[in-house]
Amino acid sequence: MINVPEIFGENVFNENVMREKLPKEVFKKLMKTIELGASLDVSIANVVANAMKDWAVDKGATHYTHWFQPMTGVTAEKHDSFISPTAGGNVIMSFSGKELIQGEPDASSFPSGGLRATFEARGYTAWDPSSYAFVKDGTLYIPTAFCSYTGEVLDKKTPLLRSMDAISKQACRILKLFGKNVERVTTTVGPEQEYFLVDKKYYDQRKDLIFTGRTLFGAMSPKGQEMDDHYFGTIKPRVAAFMADLDEELWKYGILAKTKHNEVAPAQHEIAPIFSTTNTATDNNQLVMDVAKKVALQHGMVCLLHEKPFDGVNGSGKHNNWSMSTNQGENLLNPGNDPKENAQFMLILTAVISAVDKYAKLMRISVASAGNDHRLGANEAPPAIVSVFLGDELQSIVDDIIAGTHTAGTGSAKIQLGVTTLPVFSKDNTDRNRTSPFAFTGNRFEFRMPGSSQNIACINMMLNTAVADVFKRYADELEGAEDFDAALNALVKRELTAHQRVIFNGNGYDDSWVAEAEKRGLPNLKSTPEALACYDEFVDVFEGTGVLSETELLSRKEILLEEYAKLIKIESRTMVDMAKKDILPAVGSYTKELSEIACNKKQLGLDAALEIKELEKLSALASDTYDKIEVLSAAIAGAAAVEGVQEAADYQHDTVIPAMEQLRTVADELEVNTAAKYWPFPAYDKLLFGV
């Protein structure tokens, strides 16, 4: 039996450890930096570094690393040992404040979108004291931000931290209007992580899974998810053992792993932590993905984080539950208990609704990836149209505010925000709609579009920035108001009227919504290249909030477009490779066997009509497959002539992907018609039901 409270956080240099290991003054200064986002007092760095090192060495660490999140989306690390030579040929373990605060990795091979020329290869990593350091596999991990020599950001973390500052600053101004002096508002996030588990022995036989994380071929097995018997179903012993080990590992890293269950598709599962501050939640989610992969291997399985590993069953998302909270612990999306609190809640709610409408394209951009393109708009995920779900109760209040009429039952002639009583929202009566991309769920919003493999830093950075911008405009307007109540009422009414088009409480998976959304003028950016093309529209909001400069923003666009084109290139080449080297030869062997049977039968004077029919069918399909390989190969070759990153991504989307789809259709048909023992890699039945 494990003692959870005892092991929880044992690998983390957390507040309790700091209090114990640091001199009182140093501890206080560090906590101020952590809690209020104050800048770090460098004079304490040496003391902190030394205490950290002693603690880490006690935990078996020999190395330290600045752990950062470059634009690749995965984390990066370079390990340095603590050793320092002493006279007489010995070493001591040492770690200085300078080494803690700043690192200088050679950054030339990380994507920079043209921000950093290769000759200027130096990049800097800078300690982020607001996220705890931890020991993992004999190394002290120090969460850091990553930027270029000239200070431009090269990572996902820095803009997230900037966006947290931006939203905090504006939210404090809003709260001030309600007479509250708050020093810091942090955004909170609880990401629900979906994933698949497949048996490693099957995984190892599939180049598509190895190279791309998803199956590029594969006919659906006779059974899929139609019985809905996997969702919340009994967890198989092997999976349960994996989940238990995963929880234990995560708890040791101080991650609040809370919920685990089977998801809709066979072999699909979910893990959700208790929410935390956004940057911690981001770091933790990166660790969750990392540790899940590692622990799965220990159980002879592979954890697939791709958004769409299998055609024909649900893909994986990462629901991003988001809210804002003051450093006194007030959740700003919690409807209040008295008129004043209610008015504050309505203003904040209005701001979020307005932000999502005004920056709908940005929200779409934040979840754009080649993998997620397979999910959004399919029948398991919200469409690529961004909309907000409020639920009936809140909707009727919004309607009344817009109409200027009274709420049934309140008896007031005209809604005055200041005197409206809001119903108490329970999670149960607000979260019935699971088809909405952005749903109010009682005391937070649940953003359901993010893909399972995505780093949530970008998503939350964009969400924070959008809301910060709207807060700023509201604060500018209301701070100068002569009659605050009147100005507040007018603003909320005006803004809800202007942005109500983004609210949709119906079934987001229904086709009629697509037509309705178009009528409302809501953007529907179907693919990643189409979404990324809109990046430039957001220079002002990022510069205005101080989150990203124009150069930084556009470098991100370039990186993401390049990444998209490269991914499709790898996928398409893998398909050609598998089709030519594995599928066609396998079908050839089966054809040979069938031909031999047919010849033998004929020699014996028997009827071979069946074999001949099968042979004809296989030959036609194989020949079609060959043609489709040629088409795809030509499409792949054609990419070389395309200039410009946007054009290259568009080309992959418009020309290469359709050729891939055509090849898959005919190859899957071949699979259905080929004897199982000849098929060159494990089929969907093994992958989906083989654990």
Q: How far is the CB of 184 from ligand ADP (least distance, A)?
A: 16
Nearer to ligand ADP, 288 or 559 (CB): 288
Distance separating alpha carbons of residues 232 and 235, to the nearest angstrom: 8
Contact 104, 147 (CB under 8 A): no
Q: How far is the CB of 358 from ligand ADP (least distance, A)?
A: 22
Distance separating alpha carbons of residues 200 and 682, to the nearest angstrom: 11
Of the residues 272, 548, 568, 622, which one makes contact with ligand ADP according to CB under 6 A: 272
Contact 317, 448 (CB under 8 A): yes
Interaction of residue 327 with ligand ADP, rule CB under 6 A: no
Query: Crossing angle for the helix pair 157-177 and 278-298, nearest 10 degrees?
Result: 140
Q: How far is the CB of 442 from ligand ADP (least distance, A)?
A: 8
Strand partners, 67: 143
Subset of residues 175 to 214 that bind ligand ADP, contact rule: CB under 6 A = 188-190, 192
Q: How far is the CB of 508 from ligand ADP (least distance, A)?
A: 15
Nearest partner of 454 among 325, 315, 565, 323, judged by Cα:
315
Contact 355, 467 (CB under 8 A): yes
Nearer to ligand ADP, 256 or 419 (CB): 256
Q: How far is the CB of 394 from Mg ion (least distance, A)?
A: 18
Nearer to Mg ion, 192 or 311 (CB): 192
Distance separating alpha carbons of residues 506 and 391, to the nearest angstrom: 9
Interaction of residue 275 with ligand ADP, rule CB under 6 A: yes
Distance separating alpha carbons of residues 246 and 299, to the nearest angstrom: 11
Subset of residues 242 to 261 that bind ligand ADP, contact rule: CB under 6 A = 259
Q: Judged by CB under 6 A, how many residues of this single chain contact ligand ADP?
A: 17
Nearer to ligand ADP, 44 or 333 (CB): 333
- Out of Mg ion, ligand ADP, none, which partner does residue 274 contact, by CB within 5 to 8 A per kind? ligand ADP
Q: Provide the sign of the torsion angle of the four alpha carbons 540, 543, 547, 550, taken in this order.
A: positive
Of the residues 139, 277, 282, 321, which one makes contact with ligand ADP according to CB under 6 A: 321
Cα 307–Cα 134–Cα 50 angle in degrees, nearest 5: 150
Nearer to ligand ADP, 190 or 508 (CB): 190
Contact 466, 364 (CB under 8 A): no
Contact 427, 395 (CB under 8 A): no
Of the residues 162, 252, 444, 628, which one makes contact with ligand ADP according to CB under 6 A: 444
Strand partners, 188: 277, 323
Distance separating alpha carbons of residues 516 and 498, to the nearest angstrom: 17
Nearest partner of 161 among 119, 130, 183, 133, judged by Cα:
130
* Integer-rounded Cα radius of gyration of the chain: 28
* Residue 323: C-alpha distances to residues 392, 443, 551 (Å): 21, 7, 29
Of the residues 323, 369, 500, 572, which one makes contact with ligand ADP according to CB under 6 A: 323
Nearer to Mg ion, 436 or 528 (CB): 436
- Out of ligand ADP, Mg ion, none, which partner does residue 70 contact, by CB within 5 to 8 A per kind? none
Q: How far is the CB of 422 from ligand ADP (least distance, A)?
A: 17
Which among 97-105, 273-281, 384-392, 652-660 is the span making contact with ligand ADP, rule CB under 6 A? 273-281
Nearer to ligand ADP, 116 or 444 (CB): 444
Q: How far is the CB of 446 from Mg ion (least distance, A)?
A: 5
Interaction of residue 328 with ligand ADP, rule CB under 6 A: no
Distance separating alpha carbons of residues 436 and 409, to the nearest angstrom: 29
- Give me the residues that bind Mg ion (CB under 5 A), please: 192, 319
Distance separating alpha carbons of residues 478 and 484, to the nearest angstrom: 7
Interface residue list for ligand ADP (CB under 6 A): 188-190, 192, 259, 272-275, 319, 321-323, 331, 443-444, 446
